[in-house]
Structure 1
């Protein structure tokens, strides 16, 4: 071997040996993304090389991460503006350019696994520098799993806010928290997940943390608190007429639309949408404003000196969300507070303020109306909710129509102990009664839910079992966040005087979920979808006592040692809540029954009564039970 060959061989050996010691390039996160990031086809409609010009509002957010003066980032953003891509670009930059131990936190472990599999893994696969540094999960002895990715100089740990082990034991230079407002209030019994995560950074002089989320409820939003502690920057567009910069918000959007009503359901067609400049009042189109210069403007720039930058972004700047879609979603959500909340949070990028602005008893009394018959024409199904007390049964018969519209039919009290046959015989009168329309046709009750709580649980079980053929079922209410409104029933034993006499079906109801639905429906002001009708007439039972009970509770934020939580509390001066419970059980009965209302309407209104009764009789004789009570 010649001397030159020996030198070349030695140089090659040294090159391979020191390759991993090559200093990182002088790149910001946005520059790194434009050079190395490819959007994966699994998660992007615009797969291919990352382009900063597509989402210019993300550049400053990403580059703030590489600013040595910044140690904390807070990003409040609507959906579909690219906030998850910011997190992915930062993760990619960490792995390739500035390695360190990193904890990435999703709301739950299931969310963490899904994000790792669907977003992080494809990013690593499609980015050449990342693919070289992070081994595939399937590779033997790679040291990598779905929730852990090792790379030269660091480890990425992906976890959920409900997992105390990772948050409380893993030192980390970087903390990235996604959907912060959906995090558990406590990681097991360890306390606030964010405080646990930040405690892992104590020994790192160059630590950085990023929290990202869509906003939720005003006054109960963690991301809101983080934003106001930072620089409070908003993405502002320049008005082409006066030159002033403004954040485009829904209050300054003007639009015209048409409304059509088909089978009590409204449809909307937006005809024109413009933005009105708050400074000069000039009107601009969407196309004009999306071409205008824009920049981040801070309301609290002094927070930069403390190392905390915060950003707030709505969907009006998104290249993927046309303004027409935002306005249409807003119009479609009118009258439905739950849908409106989603629009405010995910599109308008605004906090939802739950004012608890329910009407009082006097306003509800004035809302009552005169029915032209025992049953209004649009009622299709009847259910009953029964609340059990030691000396009485209280009940409400509720009529249900299309699109969640309801009618109070009868609210009553049956005095007497629930362990006496007379009380249940009187309840039979309510359930077996044929409630008539103006044309003479009638409906019977299709499903009844009876509260089994209190001191007469076994007696309720026994009486419900005896009436199972009438679809009378025992229920048990269970409070708490996250408990489904209805679930499949279970069989429970019936024990009377110490003797087992059989079993009956028992439904467990998430009563808090039901109360939320009821209160949201009560807020609807226009007759139609989800509107609650109440009748005039002393014999109907809808008096001031009924409305006092119906409006007896409010969802309140309660601060506990384990964090803040929302729970239902009695309002001062409202001692009884039986009316609310009865309505809750009647609504749950309808949910359990789950009828095909379109088919019911066709059967009731499209054929003479005798034909319907004849077909019903035939169905009963063939063993069908779905429409037995209609």
Structure 2
């Protein structure tokens, strides 16, 4: 029997062993050697194909999937770019920071399927715990191979090869591991690693070992020429592994830009442009009415969920730094580590009203707000107690002097909040801008000894911008609780329409409400004309305030101060924190008047609905104003006595 000298036939290095021509040459003159179909399939060089194209041809989803059957890139359009970028020649590590229900795990498994078919090699899939690992093996990875004809051909046919902790294929082995088992993470050199829900991993696999992520990544050291490491998770906190990887380890970070189905304008979808009716602020009503839409930043078209899906289908990935497309950025930088950010509102499986509902719930509940940030915005939760420091507050100051209003037409109105004390009244006057961002600028703050002095500060003194335009204080709220409730009621009566008294409660069914008071407290003495009291949920608005103070200077929605802000006022903004019951408190009983005034300012902003005010354009208003006409000639007005007076 003739022997074949494989050394005389060089084997090309690539996605396959031999071309058809080389197979023919190899078998010529050797009548006793024939290659089986399986051998020819293994040795044959396969035609290059992009992973996103391969997925539509060969990837099938199980019957219990949200969209069962053959994989379609149009279902989750942002997935195609991640699939293709994962196998870009220079890329070794792919970070996907995504909200739940965005198909991030299916993207991982599709990449595994492509690797088995096109670039075979062993793989390690790491889950947070053993139960989750075994369930994903039997419920998701194994069905992927059984339901997809191309992948099914790689099964060995032996039941023992489809265990819950290991799937053995004809050309590769997929090992399942869990983050708290160092043994499952070690001693397996391989080119592919999937780290799923990484933020749920323990800090270390055991007390003596490194982090699960580091242990798993070490398995790929000997495969530097072809290794791929997928790291996917919803974020938890700023110091969590997925957010740290996205913001500090990635050479390129990509955001998904969508195209408006009406005007075609590209834009990065942001939560600020998800809108709902002005009076729809109750989470229960939002859940019942399901009324929310997205405003196009270019043409102001209101997208419903179907429009949003069309916009996403026409979208593209762009790098966060320079706005380049996916291919251009990859070809230019040739990065090793890349990242993708996917908020929930890009997903066809999440309705816009669900995003709005989660946000409204979060305004009144700290834990719900954490869930909104992690589960919808795909952003980390910031620890309030750590972030709020005096230096942080002082850093919010701009270059304006005390008392000056920002110019440029960005101010919608001036509002005021006051805290009543036995020895005087603390106040803050603040300018608020247009839109949902709630950008604001501190104008004046301090303490006055009497109610007359407070009236002078609020309504007699003038506040101008650099152009000389005068801004009156449109509305104010004043704390009515304590020893001076009757005085507060009388002061608010004297200035009806300008100011209302308030009473804070730790929890309420709604963010705020009104209560008519007919008598002075502790007596039967009637209040002339009565007074309307604003009752509000202090936790709800303090949660809002804490979140706003985390916004960096210069970013949309920042809580600005003027340059003369005192250190004492800044200190008063830092003394309150949340206890283990989720309630705001002042544990050391330090002065917190600035914090209380700021809370009332947010309440005033909510009561007036400033976020929904249309922005005025002085130029358009001047252009639309008609030229003054000549005054009409004087005419005699005849008064006719009403008939009912003659009865």
For the aligned pair, the TM-score class normalised by the smaller chain equals 0.5 to 0.7
Scaled by the length of structure 1, what TM-score is found? 0.53
1:67 aligns with 2:85: no
- Aligned residue-pair number: 384
- Specify which of 326, 330, 351 is matched with residue 355 of structure 2: 326
- Specify which of 193, 198, 210 is matched with residue 180 of structure 1: 198
- Which of the two has higher C-alpha Rg? 2
Aligned 8 A contact 2:192 2:228 in 1:
yes
- Specify which of 225, 229, 232 is matched with residue 244 of structure 2: 225
Aligned residue number for residue 85 of structure 1: 106
1:238 aligns with 2:259: yes
Aligned residue number for residue 156 of structure 1: 174
1:348 aligns with 2:364: no
Q: Distance in 1 between matches of 2:377 and 2:577?
A: 32
Aligned residue number for residue 142 of structure 2: 121
Query: What secondary structure does 1:99 align onto?
Result: coil
Higher strand share: 1
- Specify which of 33, 41, 55 is matched with residue 55 of structure 2: 33
- Relative to structure 1, is the Cα distance of residues 249 and 50 closer, same or farther in structure 2, using a 3 angstrom cutoff? same
Aligned 8 A contact 2:252 2:335 in 1:
no
Q: CA RMSD in A?
A: 4.3
Aligned 8 A contact 1:24 1:98 in 2:
no
Q: Distance in 2 between matches of 1:16 and 1:273?
A: 55
1:253-277 CA deviation, whole Å, 9 max, x = no partner?
2211655989xx7665557533334
Q: Distance in 1 between matches of 2:480 and 2:45?
A: 76
Aligned residue number for residue 492 of structure 2: none
1:294 aligns with 2:288: no
- Relative to structure 1, is the Cα distance of residues 71 and 364 closer, same or farther in structure 2, using a 3 angstrom cutoff? farther
Scaled by the length of structure 2, what TM-score is found? 0.52
Query: What secondary structure does 1:256 align onto?
Result: coil
Aligned 8 A contact 1:255 1:271 in 2:
no
1:523 aligns with 2:539: yes
- Specify which of 168, 188, 201 is matched with residue 186 of structure 2: 168
Query: What secondary structure does 1:209 align onto?
Result: strand
- Relative to structure 1, is the Cα distance of residues 275 and 19 closer, same or farther in structure 2, using a 3 angstrom cutoff? closer
- Where does the alignment leave 5 or more consecutive residues of structure 2 unmatched? 1-28, 322-328, 391-417, 422-477, 483-505, 512-536, 544-574, 591-647
1:358 is displaced (CA, Å) by 9.5
1:509-531 CA deviation, whole Å, 9 max, x = no partner?
xxxxxxxxxxxx9834599xxxx
Aligned 8 A contact 1:78 1:348 in 2:
yes
Q: Distance in 1 between matches of 2:420 and 2:69?
A: 57
Aligned residue number for residue 22 of structure 1: 44
Q: Distance in 2 between matches of 1:117 and 1:68?
A: 31
1:186 is displaced (CA, Å) by 0.5
- Relative to structure 1, is the Cα distance of residues 14 and 105 closer, same or farther in structure 2, using a 3 angstrom cutoff? closer
Aligned residue number for residue 339 of structure 2: 310
Query: What secondary structure does 1:523 align onto?
Result: helix
Aligned 8 A contact 2:236 2:380 in 1:
yes
- Where does the alignment leave 5 or more consecutive residues of structure 1 unmatched? 1-6, 371-399, 406-520, 528-549, 556-569, 576-630
Q: Distance in 2 between matches of 1:193 and 1:128?
A: 34
1:402 is displaced (CA, Å) by 11
1:130 aligns with 2:151: yes
Aligned residue number for residue 364 of structure 2: 335
Aligned 8 A contact 1:72 1:208 in 2:
yes
Aligned residue number for residue 126 of structure 2: 105
1:278-319 CA deviation, whole Å, 9 max, x = no partner?
4x4623323444323311110244894232221111122222
1:14-72 CA deviation, whole Å, 9 max, x = no partner?
44544432334422222222111111013x13211111122221101011122112111
Aligned residue number for residue 57 of structure 1: 78
- Relative to structure 1, is the Cα distance of residues 113 and 522 closer, same or farther in structure 2, using a 3 angstrom cutoff? farther
Q: Distance in 2 between matches of 1:307 and 1:72?
A: 6
1:349 is displaced (CA, Å) by 2.5
1:467-498 CA deviation, whole Å, 9 max, x = no partner?
xxxxxxxxxxxxxxxxxxxxxxxxxxxxxxxx
Query: What secondary structure does 1:232 align onto?
Result: strand
1:102 is displaced (CA, Å) by 1.1
Q: Distance in 2 between matches of 1:250 and 1:261?
A: 18
Query: What secondary structure does 1:53 align onto?
Result: coil
- Relative to structure 1, is the Cα distance of residues 225 and 363 closer, same or farther in structure 2, using a 3 angstrom cutoff? farther
Aligned 8 A contact 1:330 1:340 in 2:
yes
Q: Distance in 2 between matches of 1:148 and 1:574?
A: 59
